[in-house]
Amino acid sequence: MTFDLHFWREPGLGPVTNKEAIDIFSGRPHIESDDDDLTVGGFVYYNPDTEVYFRFELDKASSGAGERPDESGRLVVSAGTTDLADSGLSFRMNLCRPSYFADEAFPVVVEIATGLGLRVEDVSTSTRSAAIAPDAGELARAWRERNDATIAILRKKGEAGSDAAGPMRFEPRATLDAFWRYMSQRRAIQRGVAGELYAPTVFLLREKGRERSVGDVAPIARRTVVWNAPGPLLLPEVDLVHIVGPGDAEDRIVPRAIVEELLGDRLEAVADTAAPLRRYDGRDRASIEEKLAALALGNAADAYYECEPDSFIDTPAAPAA
């Protein structure tokens, strides 16, 4: 199930050309053409840090769904907006995804549409809306509304045995939004650090054997970073820290509070970052290593399994009537 948009423009501009598409998509972060030689068909956005993905498609024939000629032969939108020509460009993004997909996707959509002088029509429902000026907030609202409705349908099917939107796919929106806020900025943060410091990837882990019942809205995905101890550490707002080392010590996963207590005032706040972040620069390593050796708390790393961020939904089930 997908959320679909179609783009329209002033008749005098004509359909989006191959050159226009290549010019506006080329060089943008996370966007690649379907075709090695950049003959235009589709452009795919994929961010490996957040797992957000969506697709633009350019129909070179510009046949477009829903257009009809008026008396002068111009193409007009069937949903009530006149005097707009089919641009040949469309957009598609999957449903049953975390809400932050909308926060990342639609600012990109607005940039593309504005740059090409396009208006946008929501064709993902049977009641098609008129083409409007691109607005990231309005598009995000429409996608979330459609996302929630689709999840509700799948939950009803779950009564017949489907787990497509079942309780094990749910995580609270606050958990997933916090993950996205840091991971969407991780590469920018990395460019601002030096030496041995690096901006770690946040992984979403679940404890093996932990199940979730219908109606349970407590978080069970644990945001986790790896620390090659006792070396330097950038510590985002996470739940767990996977400690590797020192030496031949067995890997273990501990609550963030344990690492905070162990490092004490050696952890310093990092200013001017979109997501909360603290830094340990690696000083007093011998002392930290001694403390790590005495640390008895923690779970073995194999007590958890990693989850793909895009596998989650953050729309809670409605309370039972």
Whether the predicted pLDDT of 64 surpasses 50 = no
| Segment 183-194 mean pLDDT | 90
Q: Averaging pLDDT over each range in 35-44, 121-130, 247-256, which range is the top one?
A: 247-256
Residue 239, φ and ψ in degrees, nearest 5: -95, -40
**Amino acid identity at 259:** V
* pLDDT score at 104: 98
pLDDT for 3-13, tens place per residue?
Answer: 999 999 988 88
Decide: 282 and 273 in contact? Cβ < 8 Å. Answer: no
Q: Averaging pLDDT over each range in 23-32, 65-74, 204-213, which range is the top one?
A: 23-32
- Model confidence band, residue 67 (pLDDT cutoffs 50, 70, 90): very low
Q: Are strands 31-33 and 42-47 parallel, antiparallel or unpaired?
A: antiparallel
Residues 127, 12 share a domain: yes
Is residue 90 assigned to a domain?
yes
Is residue 318 assigned to a domain?
no
Is residue 227 assigned to a domain?
yes
Torsion of CA 170, 172, 174, 175, to 10 degrees: -60
Structural domain range at position 272: 169-311
Residues 221, 190 share a domain: yes
- d(CA 56, CA 45) in angstroms, rounded, equals 8
Residues 147, 200 share a domain: no
Residues 143, 12 share a domain: yes
For 191, other C-beta atoms within 10 Å of its C-beta total 8
* pLDDT score at 218: 85
CA–chain centroid gap for 225, Å, is: 18
| Helix or strand run (H / E) with residue 241 | strand 240-244
- Model confidence band, residue 62 (pLDDT cutoffs 50, 70, 90): low
Percentage of the chain modeled with pLDDT above 70:
86
* pLDDT score at 235: 96
Whether the predicted pLDDT of 79 surpasses 50 = no
- d(CA 276, CA 217) in angstroms, rounded, equals 24
pLDDT for 219-233, tens place per residue?
Answer: 899 999 999 999 999
Percentage of the chain modeled with pLDDT above 90:
56
How much is the CA Rg of the chain, to the nearest whole Å? 24
Top-confidence residue, 13 or 68: 13
pLDDT for 238-280, tens place per residue?
Answer: 999 999 988 777 889 999 999 999 999 999 998 777 778 999 9
Q: Tokens for 305? A: 């399994």
Residues 6+ apart with CB under 8 A from 219: 171, 172, 174, 175
Residues 302, 243 share a domain: yes
Residues 184, 145 share a domain: no
Residues 255, 206 share a domain: yes
Residues 128, 73 share a domain: yes
| Segment 296-318 mean pLDDT | 86
* pLDDT score at 159: 55
Stated length of the chain: 321
Mapped onto helix, strand or coil, the DSSP state of residue 226 is strand
| Segment 25-50 mean pLDDT | 83
Task: Give the burial class of 22: count Cβ atoms within 10 A of its Cβ; 0-12 exposed, 13-18 middle, 19 or more buried.
Answer: middle
- d(CA 196, CA 232) in angstroms, rounded, equals 6
- Model confidence band, residue 126 (pLDDT cutoffs 50, 70, 90): low
- Looking at the structure of the chain, the number of domains it has is 2
Last residue in a domain, options 154, 183, 198: 154
Is residue 60 assigned to a domain?
yes
Mapped onto helix, strand or coil, the DSSP state of residue 263 is helix
Residues 11, 145 share a domain: yes
Whether the predicted pLDDT of 296 surpasses 90 = no
Residues 6+ apart with CB under 8 A from 41: 33, 34, 35, 57, 58
| Helix or strand run (H / E) with residue 189 | helix 186-191
Decide: 164 and 157 in contact? Cβ < 8 Å. Answer: yes
Decide: 199 and 183 in contact? Cβ < 8 Å. Answer: no
- d(CA 165, CA 308) in angstroms, rounded, equals 15
Is residue 321 assigned to a domain?
no
Is residue 222 assigned to a domain?
yes
Question: Mean pLDDT in the chain?
Answer: 85
* pLDDT score at 73: 38
Helices 18-25 and 100-116: crossing angle in degrees, nearest 10, is: 130
Last residue in a domain, options 127, 154, 181: 154
Residues 138, 30 share a domain: yes
* pLDDT score at 81: 47
Task: Give the burial class of 87: count Cβ atoms within 10 A of its Cβ; 0-12 exposed, 13-18 middle, 19 or more buried.
Answer: buried
> Which of 199, 229, 209 is closest to 304 using CA atoms?
209
- Model confidence band, residue 201 (pLDDT cutoffs 50, 70, 90): very high
* pLDDT score at 75: 41
Residues 216, 140 share a domain: no
Last residue in a domain, options 154, 186, 207: 154
Residues 275, 195 share a domain: yes
Top-confidence residue, 161 or 64: 161
Is residue 123 assigned to a domain?
yes
- Model confidence band, residue 65 (pLDDT cutoffs 50, 70, 90): very low
